[in-house]
Amino acid sequence: MPVALDDRDRALLAGDAGSGTAFAMRLILLAAEGLGADRLVPIVGAHVDSCLYHGQATLDFVHRLAEGGTRVAVPTTLNVGAVDLLHPELWRGDATAAARGRELMAAYRDLGCRPTYTCAPYQLPFARPTVGEQVAWAESNAIVFCNSVLGARTERYGDFTDIAAAVVGRVPHAGLHTDAARRATLVLRLADDVPAALRTADVLYPVLGMVLGRRAGSAVAALVGLPGGVSEDRLKALGAAAASSGAVAMFHAIGSTPEAPTLEAALGGQAPDAMEEITLGELRAARDALTTGEGGPLGAVSLGTPHASLDELRRIADAMDGRRPAPGVELLVSTGRDVLAEATAAGIEARLRVAGVELLVDTCSYLSPVLRPAAGIVMTDSAKWAAYAPGNIGREVVFASRADCIASAVAGRVMVDPGAWGGA
């Protein structure tokens, strides 16, 4: 079935707005045909992942797209790039790769994208769509957060399709842009053996996300048994992990996410395909699988994946008050440049600097060579970081709570308290 186009769409396709924009429209039409969409729908914004340098092809694409003076048609934020443009001294890799990374980041700015360079655009008031609004977001954790926590609508837009959608201001009417695809088909219930203290601990949520991703795959699941009103930072950690271990683009947390005030609402009034339990044993196994390093010295602690919120930066500053990392241990926190500006204005950045905390923006420490090249294990409170860092940057990982990570950085050795997990 051909995709229905209006006069504006046909004009863009014909090249009236330049060859680059016509190129973008062809890409969106190919995506629509692949998804079986019969029409395109307008979007109110976009978040673009394509600005992360992955080789010469990424530069070739954006230069081709820019032909004819192409500009984005909707407000568009940018995901992380290869380098920290505000703190270039943190780069510890090849100079040529850094230069190409900067060139790519600049090329997307030239298209009219806002240089946010964050994997957490939902932390920026000007970038948050509202419930039901259609957008084109890329970056796996941002996609999950957009659909699940904000209640806005996006499909899984990857490199090149994301910026094409931003240029034409349209996306295929398919998948999670539609009502039918958003209802839960799987119910996952925390078993009775999961302690109440664990259900209200930060450390549960990234681990639960790993289980969610493996159980759900690409299905939309409803989580039952969490306390109501789960914070955005905890839902962020949950969604990021679920997108790392599976193809999750949306979940419902009953009593916490906007389309799930009740289980019946999350299911759309229909029966689920399956109802399953998540036991404490499964959660402990998922937690243990995130640790790849046993023994040896502690080299670094990496926090802020996805990028730390202002509240998380404040909590880290509070935890470090009067303390510093032990000699030889790097404590690195990643955040977005806009959030860092807020932290600077609030005096939080100064407190972190005094405590010996390094702050990274514009990129992520599991992607780019920014950690000091010291021997030793890296601790993290992020399931996403733990899942990707061994393969991406070759570091061994110990996963733990944020409190344990900070205590370990100060002590200079790995210290993990299993108390919240029932002592095991």
- DSSP per-residue letters across 344-361: HHTTHHHHHHHTT-EEE-
Q: What is the pLDDT of residue 424?
A: 86
Contact 380, 386 (CB under 8 A): yes
pTM: 0.97
What's the pLDDT score for residue 373? 85
CB 293 within 8 A of CB 398: yes
**Cα within 13 Å of Cα(255), Cβ side:** 8
Per the document, the length of the chain is 424
C-alpha span between 151 and 139 (Å, rounded): 17
**Closest CA relative to residue 30, chosen from 164, 203, 141:** 164
Three-class SS state of 113: coil
Give the domains, in start order, of the chain with CATH numbers.
7-177 (3.30.499.10), 183-279 (no CATH), 290-421 (3.30.499.10)
What is the predicted pLDDT for the residue at 295? 80
pLDDT of res. 375: 79
For the chain, list residues with pLDDT below 50: none
Is the C-alpha dihedral spanning 80, 83, 85, 90 positive or negative?
positive
Biggest alpha carbon–alpha carbon distance for the chain: 66
Rounded percentage of the chain residues whose pLDDT exceeds 70: 100
Q: Which residues pair with 390 in a beta bridge?
A: none
Q: What is the pLDDT of residue 188?
A: 98
pLDDT of amino acid 370: 96
pLDDT digits (tens, 9 = 90+) for 113-165: 999 999 999 999 999 999 999 999 999 999 999 999 999 999 999 999 999 99
